[in-house]
Amino acid sequence: MVRFKHRYLLCEVVSDDPRCRLSLEDRVLGGLVRDTIARVHGTFGAAACSIGFAVRYLNAYTGIVLLRCRKEFYRLVWSALPFITYLENRGHHYPCFLNTLHVGGTIRTCQKFLIQYNRRQLLILLQNCTDEGEREAIQKSVTRSCLLEESSAGEELSDSGGEETAEAME
């Protein structure tokens, strides 16, 4: 197929400051990464990476960030990521760093990886949990996510069918 090939970097924003998460937005993060690339790789790097660069997905609750860049220059982006040490928003500096979890060729593979990763995290959490109540809550969410996996396959078609009809009615 003739298309622009991309690389997707699945990263995790790690910060001790909860306000950091509060100010976690795609525009802020995108600007931050761009600035860092310019600082690390100079004008050439900034120009090379600015084509096709985007923040595809961001979850402030979990801190997951999906960055997109062109395949030719993803190494420049990748290598610049460790140099991010703080998040700047409205004059405030929140110390944080980015932890790259996965580098994929499509969003889909990243999503798949993310599912695996989150599940593993939950299990770890469950193992390490000592409090009874919390343990129960975690258990519940784990089972829910697992159940969702099964039900979603069934749901999906009826769901899409419903949407289709809704679209047709428009």
Partner 1 sequence: MSNAKERKHAKKMRNQPTNVTLSSGFVADSGVKYHNGGRKPFQSQKEPHSGTSRQWQTKMSHHSLAESDAKEQSSSRVTFKKKGGWKAGPEGTSQEIPKYITASTFAQARAAEISAMLKAVAQKSSNSLVFQTLPRHMRRRAMSHNVKRLPRRLQEIAQKEAEKAVHQKKEHSKNKCHKARRCHINRMLEFNRRQKKNKWLETHIWHAKRFHMVKRWGYCLGERPTVKSHRACYRAMTSRCLLQDLSYYCCLELKGKEEEILKALSPMCSIDTGLTFAAVHCLSGKHQGSLMLYRANKYPREMLGPVTFIWKAERTPGDTSESRHLWIWLHPSLKQDILEEIKAVCQCVEPTKSTVCLPDPLLTPSQEKSRTDLPTEKIGKKRKWKDDEENAKPIKKVIGDGTRDPLQPYSWISPTTGIVISDLTMEMNRFRLIGPLAHSILTEALKAASVHTEGEDTEKTPHCWWIEACRNPDSVSLHHRQETIFELLGGITSPAEIPAGTILGLTVGDPRINLPQKRSKVLPNPEKCQDNEKVRQLLLEGVPVECSHSFLWNQDICKSVTENKIPDQDLNRKRSELLVPGSQLFLGPHESKVPILLIQQPGKVTGDDQRGWGSGWDVLLPKGWGMAFWIPFIYRGARVGGLKETVVHSQYKRSPNVPGDFPDCPAGILFAEEQAKNLLEKYKRRPPAKRPNYVKLGTLAPFCCPWEQLTRDWESRVQAQDESSAASSPGGEESSLRRDVVPCAPMPGRTRQLSDDEGTPLNDSSEPKGVMDTDGPARPGTEGVVGQGATGSLLCVLRSRKLLRQLSAWCGPSSGNSRAAARAPGTGQQELRREACLSILDRFPKALVWVRLSLLRKGSPEPHTMICVPAEEDLLQLSQDRLYCGPQEPKHSDPFKSQIRKQKEKKKLEKRQKRGCAASEGLAEGDPAAGQQPLTLGLWSGPLPVVTSHCSRVLLGFVTQGDFSMAVGCGEALGFVSLTGLLDMLSSQPGVERGLVLLRPPASLQYRFARIVIEV
Residues at the contact surface with partner 1, assessed by CB under 8 A: 12-19, 21-26, 55, 57-64, 95, 99, 107-108, 111-112, 114-115, 118-119, 121-122, 125, 129, 131, 133-134, 137-138, 141-142, 144-145, 148-149, 152-153, 156-157, 159-161, 163-164, 167
Compare residues 88 and 163 and give the one whose CB is closer to partner 1. Answer: 163
Compare residues 43 and 168 and give the one whose CB is closer to partner 1. Answer: 168
Residue with tokens 């991309």: 6
Least Å from the CB of residue 97 to partner 1 = 9
Compare residues 73 and 94 and give the one whose CB is closer to partner 1. Answer: 94
Least Å from the CB of residue 128 to partner 1 = 8
Identify the CA nearest to 57 among candidates 97, 29, 82: 29
Least Å from the CB of residue 1 to partner 1 = 9
Least Å from the CB of residue 95 to partner 1 = 8
Compare residues 75 and 86 and give the one whose CB is closer to partner 1. Answer: 86
Compare residues 40 and 107 and give the one whose CB is closer to partner 1. Answer: 107
Least Å from the CB of residue 41 to partner 1 = 26
Q: What DSSP string describes the chain?
A: -----EEEEEEEEEES-HHHHHT--HHHHHHHHHHHHHHHHHHHHHHHHHTT-EEEEEETTTTEEEEEEEGGGHHHHHHHGGG--EEEETTEEEEEEEEEEEEESSHHHHHHHHHHHHHHHHHHHHHH---HHHHHHHHHHHHHHHHHHHHHHHHHHHHHHHHHHHHHH-
Q: How many residues does the chain have?
A: 170
